[in-house]
A and B are shown apart, each in its own frame.
Chain A
Amino acid sequence: MPERLMIGTRIRERRVLNGMRQTELARQAGISPSYLNLIEHNRRRIGGKTLLKLAEALEVEPSRLTEGAEAAVVGGLREAASDSETAERDRIEEFAGRFPGWAGLLVDLHRRTEALERTIDTLTDRLAHDPFLADSLHEVISSVTAIRATASILVETEQLEPEWQARFHRNINEDAARLTEGAQALVRYLETAPRRDADLTSPQDEMHAVLAARDYHFSELERPDAHVQDVARLVAAEARSGLSAPAQNLLATVLTRYLEDARALPLSVLRAQLNRLGPEPDRLAAATGAGLALVFRRLATLPEEVAGPIGLVICDASGTLVFRKPINGFAVPRLTGACALWPLYQAMTQPLAPLRMRVRQTGRGGETVLALAVAVPSGPGSFERPAPMQAHMLLQPDPGESAGPVRTLGVSCRICALSLCEARREPSILSEGF
Chain B
Amino acid sequence: MGKKVLLIEDEPNIIEAISFILSRDGWEVKTHANGHDAMDAVRRRAPDLIILDVMLPGKSGYDILGEIRHDADYASTPVLMLTARGQTRDRELAERAGVNRYMTKPFSNADVLAAVRDLVGT
Contacts and interface: CB of A to CB of B under 8 A. Distances in A.
Interface of A: 137-138, 141-142, 144-146, 148-150, 152-153, 156-157, 164, 167-168, 171, 174-175, 362-364, 417, 431, 433-434
Contact of A146 (B14, B21, B24): B14
A431 B11 contact: yes
A240 B84 CA distance: 43
Interface centre among A149, A157, A171, by most B CB within 10 Å? A149
Given A141-B84, A141-B105, A164-B20, A149 B55 contact: no
A153 B106 contact: no
23 contacts: A137-B84, A141-B84, A142-B84, A142-B105, A146-B17, A149-B14, A149-B106, A149-B107, A150-B13, A150-B16, A150-B17, A152-B108, A153-B20, A153-B21, A153-B109, A167-B16, A168-B16, A168-B17, A171-B13, A171-B16, A362-B57, A363-B57, A364-B60
Interface string B1-38: 00000000011111011101100100000000110000
Contacts of A141: 84, 105-106
A409 to B, nearest CB: 14
Interface of B: 10-14, 16-18, 20-21, 24, 33-34, 55-57, 60, 84, 105-110
Given A364-B60, A434-B33, A145 B105 contact: yes
A153 B112 CA distance: 13
A260 B24 CA distance: 71
A64 B18 CA distance: 75
B13 A146 contact: yes
Contacts of B24: 157
Dominant SS among interface residues on chain A = helix
Contacts of B60: 364
A153 B14 CA distance: 12
Nearest to A148: B106
The 3 A-B pairs at the shortest CB distance, nearest first, are namely: A149-B17, A146-B13, A145-B106
A364 B84 CA distance: 14
A142 B104 CA distance: 11
A167 B17 CA distance: 10
Given A142-B14, A142-B84, A157-B24, A148 B33 contact: no
Contacts of B21: 149, 153
Contact of B18 (A149, A174, A433, A434): A149
Contacts of B34: 434
Contacts of A144: 105-106
A421 to B, nearest CB: 15
B109 A156 contact: yes
Contacts of B55: 138, 364
A152 B107 CA distance: 11
A145 B109 contact: no
Given A141-B106, A434-B33, A175 B57 contact: no
Contacts of A433: 12
B53 to A, nearest CB: 9
A157 B18 CA distance: 13
B17 A364 contact: no
Contact of A153 (B10, B17, B56): B17
Contacts of B109: 149, 152-153, 156
A141 B82 CA distance: 12
Given A144-B106, A148-B108, 9 more contacts: A145-B84, A146-B13, A149-B17, A149-B106, A153-B21, A364-B56, A364-B60, A434-B10, A434-B34
Contacts of A149: 13-14, 17-18, 21, 106-107, 109
A330 B20 CA distance: 37
Contacts of A167: 16
Contacts of A152: 17, 108-110
Contacts of B33: 434
Nearest to B11: A142
A232 B11 CA distance: 53
Contacts of A364: 55-57, 60
A174 B17 CA distance: 14
Given A141-B105, A153-B109, A434-B34, A174 B20 contact: no
A145 B20 contact: no
Contacts of A168: 16-17, 20
A434 B57 contact: yes
Nearest to A144: B106
Nearest to A142: B11
Contacts of A137: 84
A282 B57 CA distance: 34
Contacts of B56: 364
Contacts of B12: 431, 433-434
Nearest to B34: A434
A95 to B, nearest CB: 41
A174 B33 CA distance: 19
Contact of A145 (B16, B107, B110): B107
B13 A175 contact: yes
